């Protein structure tokens, strides 16, 4: 009985604490995704798109350093979505 209660307490603490770590991981993962996208498609991006992506990356890094992971995730998610929309349009498909 004591093991079950103790295990339950550890699991509850881990689950309640995980969103804090998930936000930090998502911010970092999104920043890495933007960096990878710029590296892999640098020649395919227009100057405007590259500039917008650079700006978004700088703003997200600033938000991350300020401890505002929510803002970092918001900025990076929007930038990634913009890159995906450009990609789907250039491939002849329709953006959904």
The CA-atom distances, in angstroms, between 15 and each of 1, 3, 5 are: 21, 18, 15
- How many helices (H) and strands (E) the chain has is answered by 3, 0
pLDDT at 66 over 80: yes
Q: What is the pLDDT of residue 23?
A: 56
pLDDT at 42 over 90: no
Residue 77: partners with Cβ closer than 8 Å, 6 or more residues away: 30
pTM of the model: 0.65
Of residues 37 and 62, more confidence is placed in: 62
Of residues 45 and 15, more confidence is placed in: 45
The CA-atom distances, in angstroms, between 39 and each of 33, 54, 87, 90 are: 10, 12, 15, 18
């Amino acid at each position: 009985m004591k093991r079950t209660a103790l295990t339950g307490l550890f699991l509850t603490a881990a689950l309640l604490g995980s969103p804090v770590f998930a936000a930090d991981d998502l911010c970092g993962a999104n920043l890495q995704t933007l960096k990878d996208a710029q590296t892999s498609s640098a020649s395919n991006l227009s100057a405007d798109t590259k500039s917008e992506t650079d700006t978004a990356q700088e703003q997200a890094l600033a938000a991350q350093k300020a401890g505002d992971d929510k803002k970092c995730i918001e900025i990076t998610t929007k930038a990634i979505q913009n890159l995906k929309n450009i990609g789907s349009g250039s491939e002849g498909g329709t953006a959904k």
